[in-house]
Structures are given as C-alpha cells and as structure tokens.
Structure 1
Amino acid sequence: MRRAYRTTGGSLVAHDQGAHLTEWVVGDTAVIWASQASEYAEGRAIRGGVPVCWPWFAAGRSGDVSPAHGFARVAPWRLVEEAVDQHSVVLAWELTGQDVRGLDGSDLFPHEFRARLQVQVAEAATISLTVRNEDRAPFSYEAALHTYLHVGDIREARVVGLDGADYYDKVDQQERTQTGDIRFVGETDRVYTADGPVRVQDPVLERTLLIEKSGSPNTVVWNPWVDKGAAMSDFGDDEWPLMVCVEAASVGDRAVVLEPGAEHTLSTRVRVLDESGS
C-alpha cells in the first residue's frame, strides 16, 4: 500500500512493501531520492528511497546469496503505528519469521525474529530498524539502511567526514584508506569502517545533508555512474548524476550477533543544512 503525507515542512511517501520510505521533500526539493523508472510492483524492489537490506547485504558474506540485499525489502510488512500531525509523521511496521515464510531466500534465514522499522519525519528524517531474536539459539545477520540522497550533480558534490577511514572498494576489490573528502569521478561502491556522522556537501542545490547513524559500524557510499546506471532496468539512463547513497550498515565481519531475547537497533538520521552548514 502506498501512503502519502504532507506537513508544514514538506511531504513524504512510504510503502508497506519493504516498510519503505520512498520520498521525502523539504519545501520543493527532494532530499530522499527515488528513480522515475522504478516499477513499484509486488515482489520487486523499489529503486530509491530507503530500502531495508536484511538479513544480508548485497550477495551476503559468502558472496553467492540471493535475492540481493535479502528478502526484507520486498516483504509485506504490517503497519502497526501511524501518528500524523501538521508538523510530523511517525510510521512503524513489523515483520516476523512467520510473515516471510515462502518468500524467496527465507529458507536461508530459518530463525524466529521480530523486526520493527520506524520512520519519523519532522525537521529531520529518522529511520530505525530494530531486530529481536525470538529463537532459542543465537543468530547473526547483516543490515543496511540503503539511503538514496538527492543531489544537484554528483560530479560537484562531495562527502565529508570519512578522512582516514579504512574501506573496501567493491569496484576494484581492494582495501584502501580514505584521504580527504570523497569526490566522485566514476562508479563508486565502498564499504567504510566508520560509525561517525558524515556530510554531503551539494553546491548545486546550495545545501548540506547531515547523516548521523547509530548501531552502525559501517558506512556505505554508492553511485553507479554511467554504465552501471544504464544497465539497470529500473534506473533511468540520465539519473545517475542526481543521487548518492550514504548508508548506515553493519555488514561483513561487523555483522550483528544476537543472543536469544536480545535486540539491536540500526538507525540513520538525515537533516538538511543550509549552504553554510548550519
């Protein structure tokens, strides 16, 4: 189900499939970006917004797991909370092991769990994924909030706050260390070992986006650039300059391990600053 809301500060759109915030507009300008080519079809991942990657990221730690990014982003989550006023919107969905039985890939995670995805939008947008182990044995999982941010032109934007952080470059499959700010000159797909805030400085739109995270030992930065963007059927050929993903994540050797009865929350908060960064 598609859910649309308008507040004094802007508007947002969310879908029950995937518990997915797909659009957030402040004033007249998008902050959370979605592709115009996305299909919004049952059982198909939505390209853009904030997909919930769970219980694995990409092709998993083994490198050969499907569907990509897990089953949560196409699962039928149940809306359990909706609080709306003129200034803010709060939505929450739940998903359990029973809800996903029969979904593609669910047999690869045969555990009892309860997941809650909460979206709170006011002057900032906060997305939180809480997973509780309701099984009798420990389990582990990867998770990411795959946040697509709108920028005026990726070639002019830069990501600040990761200087000195180690990262794995998935494009050339090399371990590297970041020097200075991230500037974009080609396909970028990096998993940083970093848990602090970052800023996306966008001179074209004359603003800075502040991304703050918690429960997130990794930060993923992604832009497909020309060729990869053109190869995706749900991504317009001319859209790659308009977005960058900065993702709160817990992946690879920093995957979450939960004992029975324990829970973990991964969250990201996006706030719009003016050109001065305030």
Structure 2
Amino acid sequence: MSPPVAPARAVATSTCTAEVLDEGALVLRWSPTGSAPALFAHPYVPVRAGTPPHAGIPVCWPWFGPGRDGGMSPAHGFARSATWSFLGEEREGDATVLQHRLTSDDATDPAWPHAYRLDLAARCGATLDVTLTTTNTGEQAFVVEEALHAYLAVGDVRRVSLAGLDGAAFHDKVADEDRTQEGDLVLTGETDRVYRSTADVVLTDPVLGRRLVVSTEGAADRVVWNPWSQKGPGIPDVGDQWRRFVCVEAANVLDDVVTVAPGETRSMTYRLTVEDL
C-alpha cells in the first residue's frame, strides 16, 4: 500500500492561494491572484507523506546536500522530512501568515545532537515571504548550513534568463570549479551553482510572460539548480517536468555557514514577487 497523500493547510484570500504542509513546513504552492502558480510541483505525481518532494520550498537544515564534509544523510538534513507543529495562522492585512515549529524534542540526528528550535513563518499574500528562524536552546554553540530550496515554476527553463548575479563568484558543483558570473545566467545544461551574492535575482520568463523577483534577508548565498535531461528523468517526481522549473535558493552554505551561540536566534527570509512583462 502506498503512503497517503500528505495533507496541506490551504490559504485562499483576495490576493493569493497557497498550501503549506506540516511535514517539512513545506510551502508547496503559492499563486498570486490572476497569475499562474509561482512554485513548481509535478502535476501528476502526488506529494506522499514520508517522501520529501522536489517541489515548493523545502527547508534544508542543519546541513546542505551531504554536508560540507560529505557523507551526511538524509540529503539536505532532517528538518525537511520531519513533521512540524502547526502553531496557527493570523491575518496581516490582505495576507495570511502560517506558523510552524520544530524542536530537538521532535527531530534530531546522532551526527547533530544539539538542542534547537526552528520556526517557519509563511506570509502568503500578493508577495510570498518565508522566514526560517533558528534558536539555540542548548548550552553550546552549533554550526548550521541552511537553505530555502525554492522550485520556481517556469514555462521552459531553456528560455529563461536570470539577472542580478553578474560579477558574483560561484562554485560550480557540476564542474567542481570556482568561477565568476559574466552577464545574465542562461541555463544550457545541468546546473548546480552556489553564488556568493546577496543581490536580488530577477528571472525573466518569456513563455509565461512574467518576471519572478527573488530577494532575501540573512542569506549570504544564492543557489541555482536544475538537473536537466541528464538527471531529471531519473527523479520520480521530476521526470520530464525538469523543463518546468529552476531552483533559485536562499542559502548559508559552504564557507558561509552560520554559528549560533547559546540563546541566540538567527533568521533568513526568502521573498518572491511576480511581475508581468
């Protein structure tokens, strides 16, 4: 028997529709009123409980990928597959804010035995704002990698361009080399890059006739990822839909890890805005 479809908490206001899962505190969908969905989720593969999807805005914490030194499992940490506590929702003008929390009493790992509290606030309105807050509730400092791994929906990834990264240094994980971006980024194959940049990223999508503007607070890096035809078909909830998204993430990874002292709180915000061309 296959696992059940993961339930979602729905938002429907005059400014947007959205869905957020308790599992992973995953913002699965967000669509401003009058606009096509801004976040990617495979149209035919349901999001199953216990299976973190390649969709929406997964939370990567307390490590990114296999970790800085490799070998960490599960990939991107345990927060994205844990069930978070739903704290409730509140209205802020025309927006709805959904609040989730995860603590070290709920989920941890032998390789990362620290006391913590994570809070995720998803403010769903004409603009989407997702804030991840880490609090050290223990007596020793700890170091985390973190990312809000946003899957942005596009008409065709081969036709989009990303502005805002010109001149930024980046590590190309596909080629395993350090480089500097020259001009706008146009994807032509498998892409997995970590940019050291705090600039806004503007994705121009001529197929859907819009721009997606990504801005952040508290994030030193931008990650851009698409598995392309080499790897996309081998991912069950991506398949031939690899053309329909590009990940543009807010992150603190590699040399930009975050040290959180006892009692300290650190936050990172991902803001997504849709504009017509």
1:230-241 aligned within 5 A = 230-237=233-240, 239-241=241-243
Equivalent in the alignment of 1:198: 201
Give the whole-Å Cα distance in 1 for the aligned partners of 2:46 and 2:107: 22
1:7-46 aligned within 5 A = 7-26=13-32, 27-36=34-43, 38-46=45-53
The equivalent position to 2:8 in structure 1, one of 2, 17, 20, is 2
Amino acid at match of 2:263: G
1:267-278 aligned within 5 A = 267-275=269-277
1:129-278 aligned within 5 A = 129-237=132-240, 239-275=241-277
Number of residue pairs matched?
A: 270
Give the whole-Å Cα distance in 2 for the aligned partners of 1:61 and 1:181: 28
**Does structure 2 conserve the Cα–Cα contact (< 8 Å) formed by 1:21 and 1:50?**
yes
Q: Sort the Cα spacing of 1:25 and 1:71 in 2 relative to 1 into closer, same or farther, 3 A.
A: same
**Identical aligned residues as a percent:** 40
Equivalent in the alignment of 2:4: none
Give, in angstroms, the shift of residue 35 of structure 1.
Answer: 1.9
Give the whole-Å Cα distance in 1 for the aligned partners of 2:28 and 2:22: 10
The alignment's C-alpha RMSD in Å is 1.4
Equivalent in the alignment of 1:77: 84
**Does structure 1 conserve the Cα–Cα contact (< 8 Å) formed by 2:16 and 2:126?**
no
**Does structure 2 conserve the Cα–Cα contact (< 8 Å) formed by 1:24 and 1:33?**
no
Give the whole-Å Cα distance in 2 for the aligned partners of 1:166 and 1:45: 31
TM-score normalised to the size of structure 1? Answer: 0.94
Give the whole-Å Cα distance in 2 for the aligned partners of 1:262 and 1:5: 32
Q: Sort the Cα spacing of 1:57 and 1:37 in 2 relative to 1 into closer, same or farther, 3 A.
A: farther
**Does structure 2 conserve the Cα–Cα contact (< 8 Å) formed by 1:154 and 1:242?**
yes
Give the whole-Å Cα distance in 2 for the aligned partners of 1:36 and 1:170: 29
Give, in angstroms, the shift of residue 3 of structure 1.
Answer: 1.1
Q: Sort the Cα spacing of 1:158 and 1:38 in 2 relative to 1 into closer, same or farther, 3 A.
A: same
Give, in angstroms, the shift of residue 252 of structure 1.
Answer: 1.2
Amino acid at match of 1:130: T
Counterpart of 2:113 in 1: which secondary structure? Answer: coil
C-alpha distance after superposition, 1:35-84 (max 9, x if no partner): 23545233211221000000000010111111000000010100113124
Give the whole-Å Cα distance in 1 for the aligned partners of 2:225 and 2:42: 15
Q: Sort the Cα spacing of 1:85 and 1:162 in 2 relative to 1 into closer, same or farther, 3 A.
A: closer
Aligned: 1:60 with 2:62: no
Q: Which segment is superposed worse, 36-45 or 53-62?
A: 36-45
Equivalent in the alignment of 2:3: none
Amino acid at match of 2:60: C
Which consecutive unaligned segments of at least 5 residues does structure 2 have? Answer: 1-6
**Does structure 1 conserve the Cα–Cα contact (< 8 Å) formed by 2:16 and 2:124?**
no
Counterpart of 1:82 in 2: which secondary structure? Answer: strand
